[in-house]
Structures are given as structure tokens and as C-alpha cells.
Structure 1
């Protein structure tokens, strides 16, 4: 991240997912591309203000407002990339019994089933947002969190392991708002557990070494 960084929207091969239509994905990709564009625009505008010496936030309301947008636009871009990356065609539904994620869920929640119940019900919460599983880098434990909008609810320093978008644009073409649980079922059918497992690190082992 930096004012001189220019981001490019990534492409994701996710056509023909289970329970999530190509029409929904096309709309969602466009929305994601908008966050990438807006992130670049923010950087450009702030760079121009710095070049012109307009750095005093107490006098320059425009500078303050642009800085306040950083969290929304940047996280809107990054969370979508995590979300699209942790899906795949022909998913297995649940991870394999000997996977790193199963081990992490058992250590942090007692069982994968308890983790899943916690995550699913986080995703069912009223309002727009995201359900996220994060890993504590200091001890390797995982926990589930609700991210309101894009920037509120992220845990500083924690590593995103699994990200689920539960804004209505993620499913409104396929499911009624009241049918969000059906969308969550569809999301689980498409999770790329190889990607999720690769995001986990052996922080607990490093901490005790």
C-alpha cells in the first residue's frame, strides 16, 4: 500500500459454482472492480494534495474525508479478493478430516462442528457485512468475527483465513434476503479448502519454540 501504488483488478475463474449463479458473479466482479478503481482514485487525490502542501487536516476538510474513506475502499478491495480466492468450482463442502483447518478448529473450538455453527450464525446476523475467520499470529488460535461494512470489525494484526461476503449483492439475484441461510449453504459448497489451509500458519509452534 502506498500513494504511488496502482492496483489492478484481478480475474477469478469461478463460473458455474454450486448455488451461486454466473449472473451474480458477473455483478459481484464489477462491484469489486469499483473498489479497486476507487482505491486508486483515493491515492491519486491524496498524492495531489500532498504535492500542493495541503496537509493540515484541521483546515482541509477534503483531506480528512479522503483519509476516512481509505478503510472502506481498501478493505472493500482486499476482502473481495480473499472471498473470491477462497472459493472454487466443485468444492467438497467440508474440509478433509486430516486438514490443517480441522486441527485448528478442534484446538480453538473443540470441534469443527462447533466452529462451523459459530461461523454460520455469525453470517446470519442482521445487517450487511462479512463473516470472517481470523488467526491470532501470537498463538495460532482461530476466531470468528463480524465485519460491519468493510472496515469495522477487522482485528489488527490478525490473519484472514476464511472470508464470506454476506452483503445482499452477494446473493440477491439467487436468493431472497430472508434466504441468506441458503446462500451460506451454497458458499460452503464452494469453499476452496486448499486455499484456506494454505493461509494458516503454525504460529502456536513458533511461539512455544
Structure 2
């Protein structure tokens, strides 16, 4: 199996999210890539004697979802900040949002409210190709509650590691506002187009 490689992101100076915060956050992302590869390597070794290693295999497999989803979630997160902030275009993504939620601002307020869920995790916007609908969701940790088989369009990391370098815990809402002020919506439009194919 080919190892996963750490992606490099072209993230400009952001408003309300410091360069130091992004640098530290990227180190955590690198850890998810490293540990995803480590788990795959260990699984291949352990499968040589799956009967002997049955219990350990089960435990390592349980850990895989956390590390792999942590890697993928962060790739969507950081890619949405690449290239600098842009306005939302009147493209297919915005039209779908308006069709489903009435208005872009109404959806955005709902999504921000989901991001304020107590605990650690992610607010994620998925696309369901079967129903041709966007779905807002809260994911505990990196993996608990992921919507099976649905492509991700947008995600905001709500673990404290994503904002405590710039904000105290009680200022989580300021971080959410800063994240959305820095999104490159053309990336989100492209994510939607790929998901809706």
C-alpha cells in the first residue's frame, strides 16, 4: 500500500487566526498523516498472523478511523483557507444552499450554531448524492458520527487546538467568526461540484 503524504497548503496571512496558530495546527495535521501510515504498516504486519493478533488487530482498526478522519478533516479545513478570503459566488453551491435553507445567511447562521456545540469535534457540511441534498452535521472527535459515504464540502475544526493560541476557551465564537471571514469560497464551490457529480 502506498503511504499517505502530508499535503502542503498555501495559506496567506489570516484575519483573527495567527500564523503561529496555523503553524501549530499544521503540526497536528502532520501527526494524523504519520499515525495513519503507522497504523496501515502495523496492520499489514499483524495480518501475517491474524489469528494470534486478533485482539490487537481489532484495537488498531478502531484507532484507524480517528487518525484517518483526522487527516482528511484537516485537509478540507486547511484547503478552505488557501488563496485568501473570497466572496461567495452565485454558483451551484450557493443556489443549492438557497434552495434548501432559504438563504445563504440563514444557512450560515445555522452552521455557526452547530460549530458552537459543546465538546470537541467538527461542524461538517456534507453532500448526499442519493437525495441531492446538503446536510449539516456535528462530528465528535474526528470520526464519531461521520455520515457514511457522504463527501465533505466544508468543515470547521472545533477542537481547542484550532483556536486556543489566539482565543481563550470562552471566545470560541470569535474563532468561528474568524474562520468564516477567511474562507476561500471558490474552494467550497469546487468541493460541492466534485461531490455533486
Same topology, TM > 0.5: yes
Q: Secondary structure at the residue paired with 1:126?
A: coil
1:186 to partner: Cα distance: 0.6
Structure 1 residue 18: Cα displacement: 1.3
What is the aligned partner in structure 1 of residue 88 from structure 2?
Answer: 95
Are residue 66 (structure 1) and residue 63 (structure 2) matched?
A: no
1:32 to 4, 29, 49: 29
Residue 16 of structure 1 is matched in structure 2 by 13
CA RMSD of aligned residues (A): 1.8
Pick aligned residue for 1:196 from 182, 185, 188 = 188
C-alpha displacement of 1:88: 3.1
Deviation per residue, 1:1-44 (Å, 9 max, x gap): xxx12011111121411111011011001000001010011011
User: Which stretch of the first structure deviates more once superposed, 121-130 or 110-119?
Assistant: 110-119
1:187 to 153, 163, 179: 179
Deviation at residue 90 of structure 1 after TM alignment: 3.6
| Structure 1 contact 138–203 (Cα < 8 Å) conserved | no
From 94, 114, 130, the equivalent of 1:138 is 130
Alpha-carbon spacing, 1:152–1:203, altered in 2? closer, same or farther (3 Å): closer
Q: Relative to 1, partners in 2 of residues 1:142 and 1:173: Cα closer, same or farther, differing over 3 Å?
A: same
How much does 1:73 deviate?
0.5
CA offset digits 1:91-126 (Å, max 9, x no partner): 13x513x12221111111111122111100000110
Deviation, structure 1 residue 137: 0.6
Question: 1:61 and 1:43 mapped to 2: Cα distance?
Answer: 16
What TM-score comes out, normalization by structure 1 length?
Answer: 0.88
Aligned twin of 2:72 = 78
Residue segments in structure 2 that go unaligned for 5+ positions in a row: none
Deviation at 1:86, TM superposition (A): 1.1
What is the alpha-carbon distance in structure 2 between the residues aligned to residue 101 and residue 83 of structure 1? 17
Aligned to 1:165: 157
Q: Which among 100, 103, 107 is matched to residue 111 of structure 1?
A: 103
Instruction: Please give the TM-score of this superposition, normalised by the length of structure 2.
Output: 0.93
Q: Tell me if structure 1 keeps the 8 A contact 2:121–2:157.
A: yes
Give per-residue Cα distances to partners, 1:68-104, cap 9 Å, x unaligned: 0010000010100011011135413x513x1222111
Helix, strand or coil at the partner of 2:137: strand
Contact 2:115–2:122 under 8 Å retained in 1: yes
Runs of 4+ residues over 4 Å off in structure 1: none
